[in-house]
């Protein structure tokens, strides 16, 4: 009987925010991408629900938040490349994280594994916390929730 080998993934999508769980998810994803020789896409969502009305209406504020997030995601991209992941891309979008990732990002880029942290325990930017259950339930691809 042949040995059972774990499924190899070709394209891993990892969701990042500023929580500890997201750091763990990211570390798992880069190691897995390196092991499998997989493409890695790093995604972060600017969650406008966390802004007050003034902030959400202020285009300069939103643009500033978005450029901060984009800079943050580029740091993750550099880390992945430094570790030796060959093919790394980034996506920054706006909206509700779970729905945006499941309904827009996954169909657009067609990854075969989504890696996310479970719960962001502090801070207003709990992008993926309550969203993890949504993504695990509705994602059309395998989801790995890292704790």
Phi/psi of residue 43, nearest 5 degrees: -120, 140
pLDDT of 125 strictly over 80: no
Instruction: Judge contact between 65 and 92, C-beta under 8 A.
Output: no
* Mean pLDDT over the full length of the chain: 88
Instruction: Judge contact between 19 and 128, C-beta under 8 A.
Output: yes
- pLDDT band (50, 70, 90) for residue 124: very low
* Segment 13-27, tens digit of pLDDT: 999 987 788 899 999
Instruction: Judge contact between 80 and 30, C-beta under 8 A.
Output: yes
- pLDDT band (50, 70, 90) for residue 2: low
- Other Cβ atoms closer than 10 A to 32: 20
pLDDT at 49: 73
pLDDT of 1 strictly over 60: no
pTM, full prediction = 0.88
pLDDT of 54 strictly over 80: yes
pLDDT at 122: 46
Alpha-carbon span 63 to 13, nearest angstrom = 24
User: What residues does each domain of the chain span?
Assistant: 39-97
């Amino acid at each position: 009987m042949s040995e059972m080998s774990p499924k190899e993934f070709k394209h891993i999508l990892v969701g990042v925010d500023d929580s500890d769980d997201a750091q763990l998810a990211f570390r798992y994803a880069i190691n897995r991408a390196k092991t499998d020789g997989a493409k890695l896409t790093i995604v972060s969502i600017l969650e406008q629900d966390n802004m007050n009305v003034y902030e959400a209406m202020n285009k300069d504020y939103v643009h500033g938040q978005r450029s901060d997030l984009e800079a943050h995601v580029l740091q993750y991209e550099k880390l992945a490349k430094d570790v030796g992941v060959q093919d790394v891309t980034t996506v920054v979008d706006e909206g509700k994280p779970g729905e945006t990732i499941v309904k827009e990002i996954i169909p657009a880029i067609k990854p075969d594994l989504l890696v996310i942290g479970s719960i962001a325990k502090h801070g207003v930017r709990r992008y993926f916390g309550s969203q993890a259950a949504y993504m695990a339930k509705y994602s059309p691809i395998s989801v790995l929730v890292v704790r």
